[in-house]
A and B are shown apart, each in its own frame.
Chain A
Amino acid sequence: MSALIGVVLFPGTNCEYDVIEAIEALGARGQLIWHGDSSLGACDAVVLPGGFAHGDYLRPGAIARFSPVMAAVEDFARRGGPVVGICNGFQVLTEAHMLPGALQKNRGLTFLCQPAELEVVTSRSALTDGVEVGTRLTVPINHFEGNYTCDERTLTQLRDEDRVILRYRPNPNGSVGDIAGITNQEGNVVGLMPHPERAVDPLTGSTDGAVLLSALIRYASRAVVTATAR
């Protein structure tokens, strides 16, 4: 049975269909999970997709983190389940303190929808599992608040613990340390601003996003999710 990947839908989310289409094209199964649900069902992995949950009002992710589903997502992550936040999903994960730091407005103070050149910094995460360090990928970004920010101590810790997974080459939005994506200590919770689901079909451009999503599908198929928190 192929991996079942749950895709969380908050009101205002808009990349949910795209994520499902992309992972299904890569052989996994996708399932929408409503933000009001308090269970994730039988998912092997969870994606918090891009969009504007709750209109991004107040701050991106600030209201979404209190949705009922987030307690289940946090519990799933604590038990070792793979959780990936893409763009707005990354913002939700930082607001929920599942990942450190915050996403500020882009340096240029405009929204940016364009291809970004990325470098894989570590293979030790749910999204880069088995991907060679140093691999260059072209994956679109699509955000206003994508400028990753954290204090000096956190940045040092992220580097020391090999938790920066993707770096911009070059940096489009002012992110500290050119950070495009990070992971938690266990490697099962990942947040990134680029949209891998937008780069899986040669008709629409790059297929480099498939490298990352395929890694997630592999990781999800063999991840051991314990019955209780570790």
Chain B
Amino acid sequence: MTRFEALVEVQLRAGISDPQGATIEKALPALGFAGVSEVRSGKAFRLAVEATDEEAARQQVDDLCRRFLTNPVIEDSAVTIFGPSCS
């Protein structure tokens, strides 16, 4: 078994209203950030998985996303696998 590090980014699906992102975006001009737009909020999770290879690690994390970390009705997730890690 090898240890892989993974980054999971959870975002609201395209088209789903994102009040937090919209509110942050509205505050930006007053702070002098003129050219910033399309702010979308989300969550990120870092985790480590033991798996035989990168593909198996990805499958496990994908499954975790689908079953627990996201509600697929409103959220998408993107998984990045780093590794194998040295620890």
Contact = CB atoms under 8 A, between A and B. Distances in A.
Q: Do A and B bind each other?
A: yes
B24 interface: yes
A54 B31 contact: no
B20 interface: yes
A183 B30 CA distance: 30
A63 B27 contact: yes
A54 B20 contact: no
B18 to A, nearest CB: 10
Interface residues of B, number: 8
A57 B30 contact: no
B27 A54 contact: yes
Contacts of B15: none
Contacts of B27: 54, 63, 66
A58 interface: yes
Contacts, number: 19
A199 B45 CA distance: 41
Interface in A37-86: 54-55, 57-58, 63, 66
Interface string B62-75: 00000000000000
B31 A57 contact: no
A65 to B, nearest CB: 11
Interface residues of A, number: 6
Between B19, B27, B30, B41, the greatest number of chain A beta carbons within 10 A of the residue's beta carbon is seen for B27
A66 B23 CA distance: 14
Q: Is the interface of B mostly helix, strand, loop or mixed?
A: helix
A55 B30 contact: no
B30 A54 contact: no
A27 B76 CA distance: 55
A66 B33 CA distance: 13
B30 to A, nearest CB: 6
B22 to A, nearest CB: 9
Contacts of A57: 19-20, 23-24, 41
Interface string A201-222: 0000000000000000000000
Most buried by A among B19, B20, B23, B31: B23
Contacts of B23: 54-55, 57-58, 63
A50 B19 CA distance: 21
B30 A58 contact: no
B55 to A, nearest CB: 34
Nearest to A55: B23
A121 to B, nearest CB: 36
A66 B30 CA distance: 8
